[in-house]
Amino acid sequence: MQTAKIHNKGEKTRAGIVECAGRLFYEHGYEGTSFSDIVEASGLFRGNIYHYFKTKDEILRAVIEAHLEVYRGMLAKWDAENDDAKIRMIAFVDMITGRKAELVEFGCPIGSLNTELAKDRRDLQQAASALFDLFRDWLTDCFKQLGKGAESESLALHLLGRAQGVAVISHVYRDAKLLRHETKTLRDWISQL
């Protein structure tokens, strides 16, 4: 996760905690990561972390916000770089293969987090679902630009669901070749729209 430009030491410390926690949540799951794990991995004293966050839930909300900031920036960059909606949607698919090793090892960070939280932390899952909402809305706009009208949101959810499925299956079978094959199929589908 890349963070925004840091202006002072306090912001840098807070961003470091968020980045460290985000990595731990991704690699070990939210429930599999304790506050003590974050303290240990960050190299900070517990009191330093309490200065910024009183609970692990607060840290997770900050992780979600940091992801949203990064993804908003990435989508804005894709929009600015290319007027062709198909090329922008292919960039979305390529994002999956760009993180091939991580996806095969740990699954999709957004999908894994939402799936875990949906089981017994619906309050936090509602916050995490904003990550999917961001991509759904952006993909819907792309499909609208392709003239898909009323079916744009349905197509966006289809693409988002296929991308999540590719990430899950590649992770389950620990198969980067499968990931490459399935994302190529998605790129081909987009190209034929």
DSSP state letters, 73-89: HHHHHHHHH-S-HHHHH
pLDDT in tens, 139-191: 999 999 999 999 999 999 999 999 999 999 999 999 999 999 999 999 999 99
CATH number at residue 22: 1.10.10.60
In a domain, 93, yes or no: yes
Give the Cα-Cα-Cα angle 128, 107, 115 (nearest 5 degrees). 40
Neighbours of 88 (CB within 10 A): 21
| CA 64 – CA 72 distance, rounded (Å) | 12
**Predicted TM-score (pTM) of this structure:** 0.91
Q: For 130, how many CA atoms within 13 A lie in the half-sphere containing its CB?
A: 16
pLDDT in tens, 50-107: 999 999 999 999 999 999 999 999 999 999 999 999 999 999 999 988 888 899 999 9
In a domain, 182, yes or no: yes
Q: Does residue 142 share a domain with residue 51? A: no
Total domains in the fold of the chain:
2
Q: Does residue 114 share a domain with residue 86? A: yes
- The reported pLDDT for the residue numbered 7 is 65
In a domain, 73, yes or no: no
Question: What contacts 162, CB < 8 A, 6 or more positions away?
Answer: 186
Q: Which structural domain, as residue segments, surrounds residue 135?
A: 82-193
Q: Does residue 146 share a domain with residue 94? A: yes
Q: Does residue 49 share a domain with residue 87? A: no
Q: Does residue 122 share a domain with residue 40? A: no
CATH number at residue 185: 1.10.357.10
Q: The tokens 């998605």 sit on which residue?
A: 186
In a domain, 69, yes or no: no
Q: Which two tokens stand for residue 156?
A: 């966006």
Start-to-end CA distance of the chain, whole Å, equals: 32
pLDDT greater than 60 at residue 3 = no
Q: Does residue 53 share a domain with residue 99? A: no
Q: The tokens 């090892």 sit on which residue?
A: 105
Q: Does residue 103 share a domain with residue 54? A: no
Instruction: Among 10, 31, 62, give the residue marking a domain's end.
Output: 62
In a domain, 74, yes or no: no
In a domain, 72, yes or no: no
Alpha-carbon separation of residue 31 from 35, 43, 49, 127 (angstroms): 10, 21, 19, 16
Q: Does residue 100 share a domain with residue 175? A: yes
Kind and range of the H or E element at 184? helix 176-191
pLDDT greater than 80 at residue 2 = no
Q: The tokens 């991308």 sit on which residue?
A: 163
